[in-house]
Chain A
Amino acid sequence: MAIQIRNLSVRYGAHQALRDVSVDLPVGKITAVIGPSGCGKTTFLKCLNRLIDLQEGVQVSGRVLVDNEDIYAPQADLLALRKKIGFLPQRPFPLPMSIYDNITFAPRIHRLSEAELLSHINGLTTAVAQSGNGEVKPIGRHLDEKTKWNLLVENYLRLAGLWEELRGRLHEPAARLSVGQQQRLALARALAIEPSVILADEPTSALDPISARLIEGQFKLLKDKYTLAVVTHILRQARRIADHVLFFYMGELVESAPAEQFFNHPQHQRTAAYLSGEIS
């Protein structure tokens, strides 16, 4: 699903956090959003699903087109928009319920029908097999509803690389998980609304390098189906996963380029300085 950003500016009171940003997020690619701390990466991401609305005293101007609809238009349907977009926050917050319910919660709220449930499971089973996170047995036609939900949970947890370590604890409160596990649970939970876009704000900040690689691998597998934007402050991670890179500096979009060009032939002097570690 295409996302086009036009003249987006954001101010928090007197502080201008984003200045006149215009850029397109390519479909089926991973766009890495990089830049020094405080440059407006989170702000940028939150503008794309209008989560920014929850901040107090914030003013947003400009347009953001998601699937060719301006999400800042007065008649925009925010619930539908947010259902299309999975969001992984910078600090993961499990919902105050069990691990299992964390995954089923949003689909239940969105009143997923049994037929949809079944088709999700079928799609997932293939995805899981591709991801190398184990295999879920192909399912027969006659399953009771509970089994379907169980399968759904298993699939999403496998996709997030959590199944093996949590399979015996599904009904424990999610609050007991480690921060790294919570981060992966947030991914599973976001996938469970079957979005077309995934926005991830430093999704591996609490993970060890190996788990981080696992999530990165996950994103690469997901990108065929989704438009992905991943904020990261780890340049090497951006190099590993990005097809396209946006570089922000003090609220301005300095450079937007395909990864190859961005890292090897940066067009702007500030990008080059950032890449070489001269500015941070």
Chain B
Amino acid sequence: MNRRNEEKLAIGLMRLSLYGVVLILAAIMAVIVVKGFSAMSWSMITQTPKGGFYLGKEGGVANAIVGSIYLAGGATFLSLLISVPLAFALQKEYSSGRLTYYSRLALDVLWGTPSIVYGAFGFIIMMMIGLRSSLLAGIITLALLVTPIMTRAMEEIIRMAPQELKETACALGLTRLESSSTVILRQTIGGLLTAVMLAFSRAIGDAASILFTAGFSDHMPGSLLDPVASLPLAVFFQISTPIVEVQQRAYASALILFIIVLLLSLLSRWIYLKFSQNVIK
């Protein structure tokens, strides 16, 4: 085989995997849209479940939409408070190579840990401190789940900032903290926000970790200490009934979740572009 054909073959294979991924995505979307569309309605997104909702009667999943946004938003915020300092602490300017090596390893293991384990862990902690299933417990558990993701993504982005930029900042007489909080932050802000979005998407889509910790409720979220509904669990509960209308509503709920994640991805793209104007390549 000559070199030209080799290249053609390689490009062909790359395209194939690209189309494959797009096709799978399209298939998932098609199933959700086709099955969920008929159940999609204004009341689906504006109303809470009325009596007999799970038997195919009136109502919507507004409680789950709002609950999910609270849970994921709260968890992302909490995780952000931990992840930013942690991501900087993992840089060689601040910590020894050994420490960062083992910290990264630990975070990677946590990243790979199934979310049901976080759910179980959160549940044990709740029992210990006497907290019942609630928005707060859900937020804390989800924050634990997404912190490794957010931290590792941020840490990687900060580490990729050009060495010359760090030297430039240092040569101007900046302290490490000044350099991190101004120059490096500005250089990486787009990427850091993408990491935040990544964490939010992960948090809003997770079911297992909040199954015992956030519980479920047919009402709009009230206080931090009450159970809240969430979209993934709404999908789960509705799809496991034998009633067709309710199953369709599960797909409609999935569609809503899907649209939220899609909008967020677009938003993060936009934020990235907006904030990367100043980035030095």
Contacts and interface: CB of A to CB of B under 8 A. Distances in A.
Interface of A: 49, 51, 54, 56, 79-80, 82-83, 85, 87, 89, 91, 93-98, 105-106, 109-110, 173-175, 186, 189-190, 193
A175 B277 CA distance: 8
Given A95-B280, A96-B165, A105-B172, 20 more contacts: A79-B173, A79-B174, A79-B175, A82-B170, A82-B171, A89-B168, A89-B171, A91-B164, A93-B162, A93-B164, A96-B186, A96-B187, A109-B182, A173-B278, A175-B278, A175-B280, A175-B281, A190-B172, A193-B172, A193-B173
Contacts of B163: 54
B279 interface: yes
A70 B87 CA distance: 34
Contacts of B178: 109
A252 to B, nearest CB: 25
A85 B171 CA distance: 8
A173 B259 CA distance: 34
Contact of A49 (B92, B171, B174): B171
Contact of B164 (A89, A98, A190): A89
- Max chain A CB contacts within 10 Å: which of B165, B168, B173, B178? B173
Nearest to A106: B172
Nearest to B166: A54
28 contacts: A51-B167, A51-B171, A54-B166, A54-B167, A54-B170, A82-B171, A82-B172, A87-B171, A89-B168, A93-B162, A93-B168, A94-B280, A95-B186, A96-B165, A96-B280, A97-B186, A97-B278, A105-B172, A105-B182, A109-B173, A109-B174, A109-B182, A173-B277, A173-B278, A175-B277, A175-B278, A175-B281, A190-B171
Contacts of A49: 171
A79 B174 CA distance: 7
Given A82-B173, A106-B172, A95 B183 contact: yes
Q: Give the 3 A-B CB pairs with smallest separation, nearest first.
A: A87-B171, A82-B173, A83-B173
A110 B280 contact: no
B172 A109 contact: yes
Interface of B: 92, 162-175, 178, 182-183, 186-187, 277-281
A87 B169 CA distance: 10
Contacts of B170: 51, 54, 82
Interface residues of B: mostly helix, strand, loop or mixed?
helix
B91 to A, nearest CB: 12
Nearest to B186: A96
A184 B165 CA distance: 16
B186 to A, nearest CB: 4
A95 B169 contact: yes
Nearest to A98: B278
B8 to A, nearest CB: 36
Contacts of A54: 163, 166-167, 170
A96 B167 CA distance: 14
Contacts of B168: 89, 93, 95, 186
A190 B170 CA distance: 12
Given A109-B174, A109-B178, A109-B182, A96 B169 contact: no
Contact of B183 (A85, A87, A96): A96
Nearest to B275: A96
A253 to B, nearest CB: 23
A110 B173 CA distance: 8
Contacts of A110: 173
B57 to A, nearest CB: 56
A148 B42 CA distance: 58
A174 B187 CA distance: 12
Contacts of A174: 278, 280
Contacts of B172: 82, 105-106, 109, 189-190, 193
Contacts of A186: 168
B191 to A, nearest CB: 12
Nearest to A49: B171
Contacts of A94: 280
A96 B173 contact: no
Given A106-B172, A106-B173, A193-B172, A93 B182 contact: no
A91 B92 CA distance: 22
A49 B173 CA distance: 10
Contact of A89 (B167, B174, B182, B280): B167
A111 to B, nearest CB: 11
Nearest to A173: B278
Contacts of B280: 93-96, 174-175
Contacts of B183: 95-96
A94 B186 CA distance: 12
Contacts of B164: 89, 91, 93
Given A56-B92, A93-B162, A95-B183, A175 B175 contact: no
Contacts of A193: 172-173
B279 A96 contact: yes
Contact of A175 (B166, B171, B174, B279): B279
